[in-house]
Amino acid sequence: MKARINLELFLDDEVALLPKHIKLLKALDETKSIARAANAVDISYKNAWDCLDLLNSKAKEPLIARVNGKRKNSGSELSAYAKDIIDVYEAILKIQNNLLDEICSNPDIHAINNLKRNNMKLSAKNQLQATITDINIGAVNAQITAKLSDGTLLKSIITIDSQKELNLEVGKEVLFIFKASSVILAKSDDNELKISASNKLKGKVAKATIGAVNAKITVNIGNNQTIHAIITNESAQDMRINVGDEVELFIKASHIIIATQA
């Protein structure tokens, strides 16, 4: 028994990247021409143009660029952002297909119940993909150092028992998970600020939402990764947090939990 489900990756609330769009984008990347890409996927030029124009207008960053800057008739190519989206789409699709294969290879209620337990939803808002670069074992705890896609290093402190149960080792891909309330936010111009938290990141405020009591601050740290912080409205006002501000983020290593695929 085998199963497959078409994956849709939404660019906004309405427009989704479908398999046919990924196929068209990859063809454009190979041919550097919308006309040749349309021919490669067996659709009309107008259809290809309309699809690419819609996707380009709804994406957060441009997906298509001219090969030689702004010169006319110079050909088209994918932006770095578009290539990242394709990588994300294919990574999610691979995980999805592996999961379906596992279900189909063990089509019994016990195996499916196990998968349900492994698919628990977490209340922690922040989940960063990282690769373990170092493991330092102490008497009781283990310090796990992992690298984000941009090379930034983060540290997590977990028990040795947890390190063994998760079978953590250098080179393994993991998720670093932490709550938005565990993030300490500071303006980058606060040069005198000293905090004991071992993890320090930099980014730009992408969104600031004021609630009844607290403010939710979304910070873009690069490479399509964001971190959410919850601070009081008073703190947000005192810091004069605005979209586009450069900020620093601090997270204690003990506040980061690690998750990994079995």
> 258 near 166, Cβ under 8 Å?
yes
In 94-237, beta strands by DSSP E? 126-137, 141-147, 153-159, 173-178, 184-187, 199-210, 214-222, 225-232
Fold of 9-102: Arc Repressor Mutant, subunit A (1.10.10)
**Mean pLDDT across the chain, nearest whole number?**
84
Domain boundaries, the chain: 9-102, 122-262
Of 141, 147, 148, 256, the C-alpha closest to 197 is: 256
Specify the CATH architecture of the domain 122-262: Beta Barrel (2.40)
Q: Please report, in tens digits, the pLDDT of each residue of the chain (262 residues total).
A: 677 777 888 877 678 888 899 999 999 999 999 999 999 999 999 999 999 998 888 888 888 887 665 555 557 888 888 898 898 888 888 888 877 777 777 665 555 555 554 554 555 678 888 999 999 998 889 999 999 988 999 999 999 988 988 889 999 999 898 988 899 998 866 555 667 678 999 999 999 988 888 999 999 998 878 999 999 999 988 888 899 999 999 999 999 989 886 5
* Alpha carbons 217 and 239: distance in angstroms, whole number: 12
Which pLDDT score is estimated for 73?
53
* Alpha carbons 10 and 159: distance in angstroms, whole number: 38
> 54 near 47, Cβ under 8 Å?
no
The 10s digit of each residue's pLDDT in 187-203 is 866 555 667 678 999 99
